[in-house]
Amino acid sequence: MYTKAIYPGTFDPVTNGHVDIIKRACKIFDKIIVAVADNKDKNTMFSLEKRVEMMKKATKDFPKIEVKSFSSLLVDFAKKEEAKIIIRGLRAVSDFEYELQMGYANKSLDNEIDTIYLMPNLDNAFISSSVVRSILKYNGDVSHLVPKEILEDLKCT
């Protein structure tokens, strides 16, 4: 059975934690659309186009991955892409409550959608895009937190 899933996020910027979740998802699904959100409620450091470009660089060696942007409800995007599974990452208990709530909200909007939660390995469990952005603001070294393919992109901030 062919399975397609969506891994949505702002990815501002993509981190090693995101890539870890993508690697784990590639073991489970036939195709994964990494859906970069154009969320007007978030004040992103990088433009939508730049975030898509960085994600494409970070996942260029993953044949199961396709990177797309979206600016609609996630369930509407999933329906358009004919995907019934949403992948979400969980780093800590604090993520769980929010993610569970979002999973239920998505299910209420489309009963055919299921959400699967994956945990990154312990080395990546503390990494978040907001931590990376905070370090970048003070010109700190983030080379151990993000894919090497995007390091040059981060120097332009």
Residues designated as active site: 18, 42, 91, 129
97 Cα distance to chain centroid: 18
Q: What are phi and psi of 144, to 5 degrees?
A: -90, 0
Q: What is the rounded distance in angstroms from the CA atom of residue 157 to the CA atom of residue 152?
A: 10
Question: Which H or E run includes 85?
Answer: strand 85-89
Question: Which H or E run includes 33?
Answer: strand 31-37
Burial class (CB in 10 A: 0-12, 13-18, 19+), 79: middle
